[in-house]
Structure 1
Amino acid sequence: MKNKLLQRALDFSKETATKRVALGFGFLVLLFTVFGYFVLPAIIKSQAEQFISGKLHRQMTVEKIKVSPYAMEINIHGLKIMEPDGKAVFASFEDLKVDLSSSSVFRMAPMVQEVRLNRPYFHLVRADASHYNIDDIVQLIASQPPSPDDKPARFAVMNIQVEGGRIEFEDRPEQANHKVEDLKLGIPFISSLPSQINIFVEPLLSAKVNGAPLLFKGKALPLADTREAQLNLDLEGVDVPNYLKYLPFEPNFKLSGSKLDIHLNASFRQPHNKAMALLLKGNLALKSVEVSDLAGKSVLRLPELAVQLGEISVFDGKIGIQKVALNGLVLNVDKDKNGTLNVSRLLPTAKSAAEPKAAATEKGVKSPGIQLSVEEFLVKDASLKFADEQTALPMQATAEKFDLSLQKIALDVQKREMRIGEVSSDSANLVLLQGKPGAVAPKKADAARDKGEAPGFVVNVAKVALANWSAQIEDRSRARPTITLVAPLSLNLADISTQAGQKSALEVQAKVNKTGQLAIKGKVGLSPLHADLALDIQEVDIMPLQVYFTDQVNLLVTRANLSTKGAVQLDQGSDGALKGGFKGDLALGNLAAVDKASTNDFLRWKSLAFAGVNAQLSPFSLNVEHVVLSDYFARVILSPEGRINLQDIMRSQAGGAKSLTDEASVASTPATPKPAATKSMPPVSIKKLVLQGGKVRFTDNFIKPNYTANLAALGGMVSGLSSNAKSMATVDLHGQVNNAPLKIAGKVNPLKGELALDIKAEVKSMELAPLSPYSGKYVGYGIEKGKLSFEVAYKVEDRKLTAENRLILDQLTFGERVEGSTAGNLPVHLAVALLRDRNGVIDINLPIGGSLDDPQFSVGGLIVRVIVNLIGKALTAPFALIGSLFGGGEELSWLEFDAGRAAITQAQEAKLKTLAKALTERPAVKLEITGRADPETDREGLRRASIDRKVRALKLKDMVGRGESAELDSVVVKPEEYPALLTRVYKDEKFTKPRNLIGMQKTLPVEEMEKLMLTNAQISDDDLTNLANRRAQAAKNWLVKTGRVPEERIYIVAGKGSAASSENAKAKPNRADFSLK
């Protein structure tokens, strides 16, 4: 019984304990349920509002909190955080759900099964340039003490979702509002549990940023030791102009229509205790870009810019870009009247005077320099326009529809170096319009580098290739615009560098003005300037260059081309001077030039070729192996003042414009005085100058009458031209003058400071009949026939000229007098007769000389004066001319006799011999002899002659009486015989004689007898006339008999018994006068 009671008691106690446990557990569940559902939300709400409001100093309210303790879920509804002033909502969300997994109990770590946030909202305000409405929150966070370095908390959160998020950003300084709408975030999983830490988290974020869709997704290991993440960002249609206001400078441009697309892939990795790495890849696209200046003028228009990123290592400063493509770029660049580029006016202006401080770097760590690489940079269908509005030299340049490719670009900012693998372009059209009428290029300002300026970047380009380009260059700076077309144009460069001493390979191929060919190949350098180039230029039309010198010349080039083949070498020394030169050949071909005033032909040639040219700079020297001028023509005119028209090709400042071919208007220029002493002439030499197939039409207006000759087939050679004062060039030229052979030979040095020459020239048998119009005009008679030959020899030494001019006129025959001629009635026939020898040849030697320093000196003038004097003598003093040719001078014009005598003395026979010789050599000349007798001296002479004749007659009678034969003229009375013979003659005289006292004739001395006989001798005027005639006859008899002059060429003019005229005043009155006809 007792045992049963005890057993019952024990059973009851057991039953009661179980009930108690059950009741207790039930109570706890009830308490937990009541607390969890009803008490805990209120506590959380109250504590949260109190705590957060206290911490943030902002009112935070929660509309409702719902806790599901059994589901381990909490829902927070209607949370709001106000601004500090409590007037506006700073942040809010509509609903937050957190679902805790029951596995948290077993894993001893919070395991969140789901987090869902609906309609979150943030309102950010930028109050001014440096203050935001979250400054207090940022400051609060920054002021929190760092957490101890414990092990990271263990947790796992799954299925994180944000729906309908919205962020509003109010930018009060810029008066702008920005919105992020439709924000969605999905993170499937994030955990720090060791077993899950290496599982990738794949977040997803999408939104609309100011209407532009944003997509952000990827995968990450945020809590693993590697801290690894890969994220993709897609942002499309960003309106770039809305963000210009956030640039750190004040933009001086307007940007319209620009839309930005961003597609990025970011890879982040930061292993423990190692440097972090952030790599970016993806694509960027900018569309419909238009940049204009503040006045609204378009500067840049870009339909599309596409950037394909390679790999960007953000923290290493390495930027890799796979490809950059610009499609349809239009760039308008202009320079205003002050020389300022419009693109420079677009550069930023600081918003404040304060300079931004450099960003702090990690302690002891230097910021790495930026290294940029671009695999490919493409410009397609681009257009470039450049306008220079400077009044001095306006210019416009356009390049239309061209493509440009840059390969392998590398930029190292720290090393200040840029490398480009290749630059290429194909089929670009370049048009260059420069200048306006009358514009003059401005002087370049001296460039100066600030000593404190950092050195520039070194740019290296491995290769540049431009193909199928065309360039049209139009210069409007002259009255008549010039257009030069270069097409096609190809250019290749290799190893280009701005680094000092670097040399680049250059090759250019082009066609110039459709017919010319241009080829350049070699090495060039920029710093210092260097060129080692092979040139090959063929038949490039130089007509476009004429506008640059036409105002300085009096000719107009109507055709010409330039060819050259050789090498150019230039090097810039440390002083900036260029050294080097040109070696090779060049030619100016097919030149034709006319007189600008009259358009008459002036100069032309087929080719002017320079072979073996060696021209050097610093110091200057020029050496040419040979020059060939072929198939040339020149119009050469010598003015009345002795100036050749070739000297007027260049316009002088004083002379101005003048005609080169109008004979009447070829202006004169005063003789050039001796040049002032100057520095020695630089070394110049031309080994050989060859002339071929030349024609020259030469007019000499200096000589009266004027003369025009046609020189043809001019050729030959000039060897050894040199500026060396001791050197003389050898001249050997030949040709034809009016179809007569011409030859020029000798020595000359026209390149030395003072002219030196020793030249001989000759013309053989030039027909004179073609010159009949000139002789008819200026002489009064036409030329029927005749040939001209001449030999000249000129020598100039020490500025003094000595010359020999031999003229030979063969069979010169004048025709009838030309009616209406302006020439006077000149006795030209006599002149010709006097000058022409018995073979019909006129041979004249004209020696001249003078100093080149004489302002009045002129070779042509001297020759003309000599010729004029010679002709003058032929007309006015013919015997002086004969005397100069044969000896005797002017005295040949008379023959003197003793008073009262007609006998020719031995001394006078010498004159007659010279005169006979001249008459023999001049068979066309006739001679007239006029005897003369003086009434005084000849009357006395006749008286004495009568006594002498009577004495000799008496002796002849005695001789005959003795049987001797003799003639009266041969009788000679000896002095000892004379008194006796005179006494006998005296006794026979019939006049009254003196007698003595007895009436007988006195015996008188010889003198007294002669005196009485002379006194009583009667001489009449007829006796004087007879004496004059006998004297003329005596001269004629001698010339005919002794001098062998044909009698028919000699005429006796009636004697003159009166006193002699004033003519031949130097001669005695007892003479015979000669006259040539």
Structure 2
Amino acid sequence: MSKKKKILLICLATVLALFIFIIAILPLIIQSQAVAALIRETGRQTHIEKVSINPFTLSVTVNGFAIDAKEGGPFISFAKLRASLSTASLYKMAVVLDEVTVDSPTIQFARLTANTYSFNDIIELQKTRPRKESQRELQFSVNNITLNNGTMNFDDRAVEGGRKHTIRNLKVAIPFISNIPYLVEKYTDPHVSALVNGAPFSFSGKVKPLSKSMETSVHIDLKEFSLPELAAYSPVKPPVTLTSGKLTINAEVTYRVSKDKKPELGVKGLLGLNKIAVNLKDGHPLIRLPLLQVKASNLEVFAKRFLFDSITVEGLELFVSRNAKGDWMYSQLLPTTPEKKSEPAVDRKPESGQQALVQVTAFAFNNGIIHFSDAQPAGGFKSEITRIDAAVRNFSNAVDTSAEYELSLLMDNEATFNADGSFSLTPLTATVSSALDGIRLQRGWPYLSQILTAPVKGTVDISSKAIYTKADGLAVTQGKLLATGLSARYGDKDGLDLARIEVNGSSYSQKENSAGADEIKLTKGSVSFSREEDGTLSIMSLLKRQYSPQAAPGKEGTRPAAPQAVASGPTSAASSASKGQQPARDFSFHFKKILVDKLTTSFTDKTYEDNPRFTLGNTSLSLSNLNGPRFTPAALRFASTFNKDTPLKASGTITPTPFRYKGSVNIARLPLRDFEAYFPSNLNVSILGGTADTSMDVDIALKSGKPTGTFRGSAGIRSFHAIDSLVEEDLLKWESLQLDDIQGKLEPFSLALREIALNGVYSRIIIHKDGTLNLQNLVRKDEKVPDTQTPVSVAAKPAEQTPLPSGQPPASARKQIRIDAVTIQDGTIAFTDNHLPQRFASTFYNLGGRVSGLTSEDAKFADVDLRGNLENHSPLQITGKINPLREDLFVDLKVAIQDIELSPATPYSGSFLGYTVEKGKLSLELKYRIDKKQLVSENKIFIDQFTFGEKVESDKATKLPVKLGLALLKDRKGEIHLDVPVTGRTDDPKFNILKLVFQVLQNLLVKAVTSPLSLLSSMFGGGQDFSAIQFDHGMSGIIPREEQKLEALSKALLDRPALKVELKGYVDREKDTEAYRSELLSRKLRNEKFLALSKAGKIKEGDKADTIQVLPEEYAQYLKAAYRKEKFPKPRIVIGLVKELPTAEMKKLIIANMEIGEQELQTLARERVAAVTIHLVNKGNVPVGRIFRKNDDIFRAPEKDTQTKSRVELNAIAE
């Protein structure tokens, strides 16, 4: 065999042996070595069923590979692995595989704890192996990588309850992976698909996995991946439970990184969530989301550009709830970690960089639902918001771009909300046109019950347009509110029912800090409220006590501090200025028109026993151009009907603050009886009728809390009727009281009236059976005030006045008042006296007249002319001048009444005097002048032919001799003339003009019956005392000064023919005794002279012993004659003759031997009475039959200090 053949055979044999080695032996070696190496490196049992090598195809096949898990069972396994080596490996000096295929790979592992897996022992074993020094990087190229039917089972025991995850039907196709330089920059198109936990998943794209630029573009497709399995892997335990949810992803992700450029990451495609169900820890639902779909056109993560084609939310349901304790469901979502201590703030500079750009071409939120449940309010509250639809178009946060949006929803299948508009984030602007319709207020009762005591019912619609800009803030326009069927109940049967309230054209400007409305209108409704017995308003009972402004103060009696309003005044302005901001403007508002139509308002005042009720019906109100808070006059028109028949009208302008009203006020037929409850409680008067009316133009304002302004117009009271409520009898009536052309000013006060006209007035004065006057009882007195009388004097002493300190102004400014005329027509005053045994009644008719020119000016006086008739017969006239309006009253009046028949006054005379009145007439002429508070009056009383009739038995009749009084007062013509002047000071606290006059008359009458001669003395004697005639001691002759008194008394007796006089003589026991002896001696001397003259024939006619005067030169002659006739023993001479004695001795003996005893003094008293009688009869021409002597104790002392014991007392008597 040739050498070539041998060599050929050897080569063939070598090749054959090599093939046999590769085919038969090498696989066994690889199998055994691989198993041994894997056991050594993993510490796990490893199995390889078979290894086969095909030298012809340069391929290796491994069948039945498995590495056991530590606790048993396979860890990693595959059914078959086939790898094919490329011949290019030889010339490329790299490992080049044409194909790698893995069939049915499986991996099974478990997580035992948070950081411990079932293969951790392998990792720990590798850590013990020495690390090999890095060698030159091996170049490779693996092509056509295929993985078929892969499986992964992951048992996660570290999470609560455990989780198992699977991957099935894993298919992987990768064209190549290479680090060979020329292949690194080529794209490979991997493809992966599987079922991940049953969810189809696919992955494909173009990648450069080993290129330095790391360019990757992949497509990820995941369909309905179950999300609840992933919830357990949250770093923190989720506060909610994700019970269901599917994730779908269909997206392309690109990633590129290189040395020269920044990394780029882009995403586009679809992300979807569906069938999301989230529950709270307690199992209650929180969120249900059938579908959330996000379509991204380009999300450049690192470039911060996020562009979305659409975002769609379908059927989102949100469950919002609060429990009875007030805890919201979201409180369960908050972490329970303890609060961290606050750390000092650190100034951080804002991060620099490009702002992210977000754009959403279309956002759609469809058919959303919010379930709301609140267990905290009483009875609970549930609501459901459905059909929530929202859409946003062209959203972007780029500068100067705006998005449009729409929103609509339905609340409780009743109310709807719709809104649309646009907004921009940079700069921040927004516009909205919104409408909320069909809100039923009673639905909010569970919440309002915490504040209100009764539900408020009604339906409200609201709409508006608004715009917000950063520069101008919020601006609202075209606002509209419509409330219908508003109603509420409060108090006892009180409430409100308002048919319709509209607010149109409302607006608000944050920049101007102003609000307004074109029209506020209330149409058709009723409001009723009461003032309760405790003084509170019933409408306030709608608020619970703790929210009521009338709530009682706190324990310390102080009111809670009022909440501070948002500062908008100077303080806030200063604060803003200090921060460099524009000072805030004061809030202002403007309402163009406020209208009220067909409103009925009722008010009941329960603080009064009768519970008076007032109603304003068919009320209309118009208020135009109301501005604030710096108010300008707003036009006002008001019309209403009080109760049933009283129209009320007002028209003008009104300024709320400071208050001012300028316009007209018209009231017609206002019933006064409706306001009777507000009369003083101690007034015993009931108003049965009367209506007031006025037509007034006013300009009224409040300045510093005081009313000021002017008024002008007319007023009147018609058909007035008042009764005395104690006896239910008429008190006062009139047909008409009219005040015309009223003009006035409040500050300083002034008033001018053209005329006051009173027509058809009727007044009744009654004396009741108990003697009280009905006028006296009109005001009920709680305490009895003693009835003090003002003492009367001819000239009363002026009351002392305390002068004002220098410079001190008067207590009040002078009020200017002018009344041009006061007229009275057809007046009647009825007088009835029921306290007499016989009822007495009398009436003044035809009272009328005029008072002209009333004014408060000091120098002007009004003319008075009033007339009337008593019982249509006796005329009454009052004339003069008066000024009751000046600071001090001025009166200069004459009052005259003629021919008043006195016979009807029998009930009085019979009751009090004990006699009827047979006949008589009374006339009065009175003059009263009051000037500078000084009263000077003349009261002339004329009674003609007054005659008593029969005697009447009466317990009230006086015991005084009234006939004596009458006789004393009546002159010979049958007339009684009395002139009663009265003076006094009107500033005396006890001054009372009627009491003064009646007191004077009373004093006069009492004096007439108790001291008639004193009265006669005041009438005829110029003040002399007629009650006694004084005598010199021991004398019985009338002394000259007493003769004048007797002359005056004689005139009085002659003028009073019915009077008679009694005389009583008196002596002074001591002084008259001595003086009487001298008087008797004088009488003896006069007798002796009278005898001597008689014998001589020298007596003249008319001479008497008492009238003869003994001259001094005759004294001794007649004394001696008288001495001789005395019978007492006389001194004698020796022969028995009477001894001649000196004159003095003779006088002494005569007086010494005179015996003056009581008998002699009785004689002296009789002589004195005789002397008075003779004087009255002879000189006074008083008939002797009217003079009577009356015996008395002659030694009785006089009652008056001005009288002496030597006197004759006189006393007037009558039949």
Structure 2 counterpart of 1:381: 485
1:453 and 2:563 matched: no
Aligned-pair CA distance for 1:869: 3.2
1:804 and 2:928 matched: no
Aligned-pair CA distance for 1:483: 1.6
1:532 and 2:662 matched: yes
Structure 2 counterpart of 1:1038: 1178
What residue identity is the alignment partner of 1:871?
L
Find the residue that maps to 2:964 and give its secondary structure.
Answer: helix
Structure 2 counterpart of 1:504: 634
Structure 2 counterpart of 1:241: 372
Aligned-pair CA distance for 1:883: 2.2
Matches within 5 A, 1:360-375: 366=470, 369-375=473-479
What residue identity is the alignment partner of 2:612?
T
Higher relative contact order (CA 8 A, sep 6+): 1
Structure 2 counterpart of 1:924: 1058
Q: Distance in 2 between matches of 1:44 and 1:594?
A: 119
Contact 1:320 1:372 in 2 (8 A): no
What residue identity is the alignment partner of 1:369?
G
Instruction: Select 2:709's aligned residue among 580, 586, 589.
Output: 580
Aligned-pair CA distance for 1:517: 1.4
What residue identity is the alignment partner of 1:433?
S
Structure 1 counterpart of 2:579: none
Instruction: Select 2:977's aligned residue among 836, 843, 848.
Output: 843
1:169 and 2:298 matched: no
Q: Call closer, same or farther: CA 1:802–1:334 in 2, change over 3 Å.
A: farther
What residue identity is the alignment partner of 1:1038?
N
1:782 and 2:916 matched: yes
Matches within 5 A, 1:14-93: 80=196
Structure 2 counterpart of 1:413: 510
Contact 1:319 1:373 in 2 (8 A): no
Contact 2:828 2:846 in 1 (8 A): yes
Aligned-pair CA distance for 1:142: 15
Contact 1:642 1:858 in 2 (8 A): no
Q: Distance in 2 between matches of 1:341 and 1:143?
A: 63
Contact 1:801 1:851 in 2 (8 A): yes
Structure of greater Rg: 2
Find the residue that maps to 2:1003 and give its secondary structure.
Answer: helix
Aligned-pair CA distance for 1:509: 0.8
Contact 1:419 1:459 in 2 (8 A): yes
Structure 2 counterpart of 1:773: 907
Which digits, 9 at most, give the CA deviation of each residue in 1:887-922, with x for residues without a partner? 265555677899999998987764554344324433
Contact 1:324 1:378 in 2 (8 A): no
Find the residue that maps to 1:427 and give its secondary structure.
Answer: strand
1:523 and 2:653 matched: yes
Find the residue that maps to 1:428 and give its secondary structure.
Answer: strand
Matches within 5 A, 1:680-759: 680-688=811-819, 690=822, 692=824, 693-696=826-829, 713-716=846-849, 732-736=865-869, 740-745=874-879, 757=891, 759=893
1:465 and 2:595 matched: yes
Find the residue that maps to 1:453 and give its secondary structure.
Answer: coil
Structure 1 counterpart of 2:1000: 866
Task: Give the TM-score normalised by structure 1.
Answer: 0.65
Matches within 5 A, 1:555-634: 555-571=685-701, 579-580=708-709, 582-595=711-724, 597-613=726-742, 627-633=756-762
Aligned-pair CA distance for 1:854: 6.3
Two-structure CA RMSD over aligned residues (Å): 6.8
1:178 and 2:287 matched: yes
Task: Give the TM-score normalised by structure 2.
Answer: 0.59
What residue identity is the alignment partner of 1:690?
V
Contact 2:252 2:267 in 1 (8 A): no
Identical residues among aligned pairs (%):
21
Aligned-pair CA distance for 1:835: 0.8
Contact 1:951 1:985 in 2 (8 A): no
Q: Distance in 1 between matches of 2:1187 and 2:788?
A: 54
Contact 1:328 1:382 in 2 (8 A): no
Structure 1 counterpart of 2:89: none
Structure 1: gaps spanning 5 or more residues: 1-30, 51-57, 81-88, 100-113, 193-200, 213-224, 289-303, 346-361, 388-393, 656-665, 960-964
Contact 2:912 2:954 in 1 (8 A): no
Q: Call closer, same or farther: CA 1:398–1:802 in 2, change over 3 Å.
A: same
Contact 1:927 1:1051 in 2 (8 A): yes
Work out the number of aligned pairs and report it: 909
Q: Call closer, same or farther: CA 1:208–1:721 in 2, change over 3 Å.
A: same
Q: Call closer, same or farther: CA 1:319–1:640 in 2, change over 3 Å.
A: farther
Contact 1:802 1:847 in 2 (8 A): yes
Q: Distance in 1 between matches of 2:745 and 2:789?
A: 34
Aligned-pair CA distance for 1:681: 2.6
Aligned-pair CA distance for 1:97: 13
Tell me which moved more, 850-859 or 513-522: 850-859
Which digits, 9 at most, give the CA deviation of each residue in 1:829-869, with x for residues without a partner? 22112112233221212233445676766545544443333
Q: Call closer, same or farther: CA 1:913–1:991 in 2, change over 3 Å.
A: closer
Q: Distance in 1 between matches of 2:502 and 2:879?
A: 65
Aligned-pair CA distance for 1:512: 0.9
What residue identity is the alignment partner of 1:176?
P
Aligned-pair CA distance for 1:428: 1.0
Aligned-pair CA distance for 1:511: 0.5
Structure 2 counterpart of 1:814: 948
Find the residue that maps to 1:814 and give its secondary structure.
Answer: strand
Q: Distance in 2 between matches of 1:150 and 1:770?
A: 133
Q: Distance in 2 between matches of 1:505 and 1:714?
A: 47
Instruction: Select 1:953's aligned residue among 1080, 1085, 1094.
Output: 1094
Structure 1 counterpart of 2:529: 432
Instruction: Select 2:315's aligned residue among 202, 208, 211.
Output: 208
Instruction: Select 1:423's aligned residue among 520, 524, 535.
Output: 520
Matches within 5 A, 1:998-1009: none
Tell me which moved more, 493-502 or 850-859: 850-859
Aligned-pair CA distance for 1:1016: 13
Aligned-pair CA distance for 1:116: 11
Which digits, 9 at most, give the CA deviation of each residue in 1:746-798, with x for residues without a partner? 56666677666555544333332232212211111122222223334445566
Q: Distance in 1 between matches of 2:416 and 2:145?
A: 55
Structure 2: gaps spanning 5 or more residues: 1-97, 103-142, 155-163, 176-189, 206-218, 300-307, 320-356, 457-467, 538-549, 554-558, 570-585, 791-798
Contact 1:714 1:736 in 2 (8 A): yes
Instruction: Select 1:513's aligned residue among 643, 646, 654.
Output: 643
Q: Distance in 1 between matches of 2:551 and 2:840?
A: 51
Q: Distance in 2 between matches of 1:648 and 1:1052?
A: 52
Which digits, 9 at most, give the CA deviation of each residue in 1:374-415, with x for residues without a partner? 453222223245x5xxxxxx7986222511222122233343
Which digits, 9 at most, give the CA deviation of each residue in 1:28-72, with x for residues without a partner? xxx99x99xxx999779999999xxxxxxx9895767899x9xxx
Aligned-pair CA distance for 1:287: 3.5
Which digits, 9 at most, give the CA deviation of each residue in 1:84-138, with x for residues without a partner? xxxxx8xx86699999xxxxxxxxxxxxxx999986876697989999999x999
Structure 2 counterpart of 1:15: none
Structure 2 counterpart of 1:305: 415
Q: Call closer, same or farther: CA 1:121–1:987 in 2, change over 3 Å.
A: closer
Structure 2 counterpart of 1:493: 623
Contact 1:932 1:1056 in 2 (8 A): no
Tell me which moved more, 626-635 or 466-475: 626-635
Q: Distance in 2 between matches of 1:679 and 1:142?
A: 100
Tell me which moved more, 39-48 or 818-827: 39-48
Q: Distance in 2 between matches of 1:915 and 1:967?
A: 27
Q: Distance in 2 between matches of 1:908 and 1:723?
A: 57
Find the residue that maps to 2:911 and give its secondary structure.
Answer: helix
Q: Distance in 2 between matches of 1:45 and 1:838?
A: 164
